[in-house]
Amino acid sequence: MLETNEGTKEIAEEIRFRMQQNPDRTRQIGTFGFIELEDTWGDEATILNTARVSTSNRRLSGPEAFSDKDRALLEHLLAEEHGTPFETVWFRYRFIAPIFVLRQWVKHRISTWNEFSMRYRKPISAFYIPDEKARTVDGFEVMTREQTDRYSALLETVNRFYEEEYDTICRRIDDLRHTGELPPKDGGRDPYRARARELLRSAMPVANYSDVYWTVNFRSLLNFFNLRTKETAQYEIRQYALAAYDLFGHAFPLLRTTLEKASKRQKPSGPP
């Protein structure tokens, strides 16, 4: 069994803490996955106030002040895909996902993205293990339990390789400093250990988890939902997209309800 490194233990503890502190805005996904809607800016009133800037001085204080006419306008804007007003509402998610999921997610470029860096920290020593549902297509088990066990053993070997080789390099650096063959560390980032991390991260598999802050406006978030919640989306990123949609819905119930009504007026696609 792979031993979890200290950084990964800290992240696991933080996930538990966030789940307790913010249960309506957090979800756990898969082996080590996690997503949280940490913060938002603006609301349904922001959207309508923006949309009306050229036609009216009327300003809404919040969604609680909405009339039937206001709700109808919000639905119209969504159904007719009037994009600009939806760029004024922002969401900040934090998610921990396998690197192969991140590679799909980062294609949604109209957003800001800040990822865990293996230049500065050791990797998260946890990797994605597909459950039975993930391994099965139309009742056929594409990857058997025995194959999954071999897959897990291989990934444990790669993660253990990183930990053992990094420890060996660090001990050698310390020994050479002790003998004076390397200069002492003078504060700040150790260039020798840093280069070791840079080199060894190249061996890490895309099944390992990484940690991302994602800040996105609602228009771009809608595009993410439309593409990644579809049944044709890859299983793993779809689990995150559905969770992100659910968290959005808890934070903005009126916007979610209106979006789902507007979607029925459009072609049959988009969020569930």
Annotated catalytic sites, by residue? 228
What is the torsion angle, in degrees rounded to the nearest 10, for the CA atoms of residue 34, residue 219, residue 236 and residue 95?
-20
Question: Phi-psi bin for 57: left (phi > 0), alpha (psi -120 to 50), beta?
Answer: alpha
Going from the C-alpha of 204 to that of each of 201, 210, 260, the distances in angstroms are 5, 11, 41
Task: Quote the CA–CA distance of 194 and 212 in Å, as a whole number.
Answer: 21
Residues 6+ apart with CB under 8 A from 37: 25, 26, 91, 92, 93, 244, 247, 248, 250, 251
Are the C-beta atoms of 165 and 200 separated by less than 8 Å? Answer: yes
In 3-state terms the chain splits into helix, strand, coil percentages (rounded to 5) of 55, 15, 30
Beta strand ranges found along 66-187 (DSSP E):
90-98, 112-115, 136-137, 140-141
Q: Do 40 and 92 meet the contact criterion of CB atoms below 8 Å apart?
A: yes
The residue type of 224 is: F
Residue with tokens 């053992």: 164
Structure tokens at 138: 């139309």
DSSP H or E stretch at residue 257 = helix 253-265
